[in-house]
Amino acid sequence: MANQQNVRDYSNLAKTIIEKVGGEKNVQSLNHCMTRLRFVLKDESVAETEQLKQNEGVLDVLQSGGQYQVIIGTHVEHVFNAVEKIRGQSHNIEEAGEEKNEKKGVSLLLDTISSIFLPLMAAMMGAGILKGILVMCTTLGWMSAESGTYAVLYAAADAFFYFLPLILAVTSARKFGANQFVSMAVAGAFLYPNLVSLHDAGTAISFLGIPVKLINYGSSVIPVIAAVYVLSKLEKFLNKIMPQLIKGIFVPVLCIVIMVPASLLAIGPLTSMLGDTVAAGYTALYQLMPPVAGLILGVLWPILVIFGAHWGLIPIVMNNFAVYGYDTLLPVTTGTNFAMAGAAFAVFLKTKDRTLKEFAGSSSFSAIIGGVTEPAIYGVNLKFKKPFYIACISTGLGGIIVGLAGAQFPAMFTTSLLTLPAIAVLKGGIAMVIAAIIGFLCAFVGTYFFGFNDRMLEKNQ
């Protein structure tokens, strides 16, 4: 009976959200991340944003990066499914092939990046955490790296990252409006075992007399996204000029015949070179002054998150994994979740308002145990401003220590109390644990003594 009530509640909330964003006809596309519904609206001006913010199931609403973001919380998938059920569309499908995207510049870039990477995040985090657990088990001697158990579990953890080009082919096709399975066929050529073996053996090959630069594309990001983008343009062109009677057969054939050689001869090598340059440029800047980089990134990261602008850095992170096998950008943000939890926990202890106390306590728990910070950020810290600023500074202080230690992530991680043991055994892991402790304690002490009192409640009524 309780489950039925939950479904009715999500259905009602979904109807309200659709109504307040301007109705079904105003929704161009919809995705979701761990806590947010991410709409692309045809006209954001008709959305009733302030009224939507007042709904009990909505934490906040942001308009950023060309997206209309409705912040829900950890149960966002249930709300998303309810919205999609009302819209009568399939789960998580982009309508990019039919839409006219008028966004430009940074908005277009952030929308493209988030649309491609958002659907991957749950699996990516899961695989990354499993990698960290395996590192911990082998480092502490709990498991032999030569055992069959390790081999199976490592395959489970690493397969996602190795076959990332195939996965990105699907989400890129959704975004650019290309055929998903033709896109996978093109991406599959990047990882085809015979070509990988020729690369490993150092064998030189050519295509129609043109030398092919063989590259290991496992875990790569930029080449497949670029290839699918070009494929989408080619596919649309061929569909326009090809007679209806034969296009169903010849368009896929021509796309594969043209795009696979083009990808291996030009798109792949050029974008791989671009990726290497980006990685080298970021590494050079980071290594110039690691503690300063740690401070700046640590302070700015929560601010970037609230606007969704952190997605602009995700391709750099993924490219670092592909080029170096590790990343140094995300480790400096380790203290973020703990700082947001510490600030919210201080509000929980200090306030006498029963409603705020309950919400601050649950949102602090969500941030520190589950690594989900949106309830703490939007429902507590950002609402009273000072707790959020203190949490940002606390994250930056931890970032200095992480930068000095040269800490590294071998894969994408979510940072929480549950993942700290796995993080501790990574390179610079102790520094990251210290950053988490500093983040929590500094944000807690700063908020408790200087950042919050119940008089602020009156100003926020």
Looking at the annotation, which residues are catalytic?
A: 33
Q: CA 105 from chain center: how many Å? A: 20
Compute the distance between CA of residue 130 and CA of residue 139 in angstroms, rounded to an integer: 14
Sign, Cα dihedral of 8, 9, 15, 18: negative
**225, two tokens:** 């996204």
Listed residue (298, 303, 334, 305) closest to 412, CA to CA: 334
Whose structure tokens read 């080009």? 165
Compute the distance between CA of residue 39 and CA of residue 93 in angstroms, rounded to an integer: 12
DSSP 3-state of 405:
helix
* Strands annotated E in 84-239: 205-207, 210-212
Listed residue (393, 368, 388, 366) closest to 377, CA to CA: 388
Stretch (H or E) spanning 314: helix 314-324
Give the single-character DSSP code of 411.
S
**170, two tokens:** 């699907």
DSSP 3-state of 452:
coil
**Cα angle at 180 between 177 and 185, to 5 degrees?**
130
Listed residue (185, 128, 136) closest to 157, CA to CA: 128
**117, two tokens:** 């990477």
Residues near 10 by Cβ (< 8 Å), separated by ≥ 6? 75, 78, 79, 81, 82
Strand order in the sheet with 67-71: 27-32, 36-41, 67-71, 60-64
Listed residue (370, 367, 369) closest to 379, CA to CA: 367
Compute the distance between CA of residue 204 and CA of residue 191 in angstroms, rounded to an integer: 17
**322, two tokens:** 């592909």
Stretch (H or E) spanning 257: helix 244-262
**Cα angle at 90 between 88 and 95, to 5 degrees?**
95
- Cα atoms in the Cβ-side hemisphere of radius 13 Å centred on 97: 17
Listed residue (233, 409, 431) closest to 317, CA to CA: 409
